[in-house]
Amino acid sequence: MLAEFARYVCFPGCVVVGKVGLDWSYLPAPGKHDQQSKVFQLLIQVALDADKPLVLHLWDGPFCSSSSVLDQAFLMLTHTVPHNIPMYLHCFTGSAEEAWQWLDCFH
């Protein structure tokens, strides 16, 4: 299924890869967080391979424990994408300080 999705992303009419990310607002089991993170990482790579911007959906929930969705996504993205990749953070719920952290890193 991922290969088919990647093929569609390469079509000229596809201008972004999104809305992708992490949504832990409804996932009570930490194992589900890991699974969602793995899929997110695959979709980041699809966007990079196709040279497409990312539209991110990052949503914390009551089941978050050690790190927030924003922290997890920031860590993943800073280790895998160039800092000049176009990104749009849909539904940003972080603080002003976190927003500046994202803006300083990805410009």
pLDDT at residue 107 tops 80: no
Task: Supply the DSSP symbol for 86.
Answer: -
The type of residue at 84 is N
- 29 versus 57: which is more confidently predicted? 57
The type of residue at 89 is L
| CA–CA gap between residue 107 and residue 104 (Å, rounded) | 7
Task: Name the token pair of 32.
Answer: 């589900």
What are the CA-CA distances from residue 9 to residues 74, 103, 104 (Å)? 23, 26, 28
The pLDDT, as a whole number, for residue 69 is: 87
The pLDDT, as a whole number, for residue 55 is: 96
Query: Residues 8-21: what's their mean pLDDT?
Result: 95
The model carries a pTM of 0.88
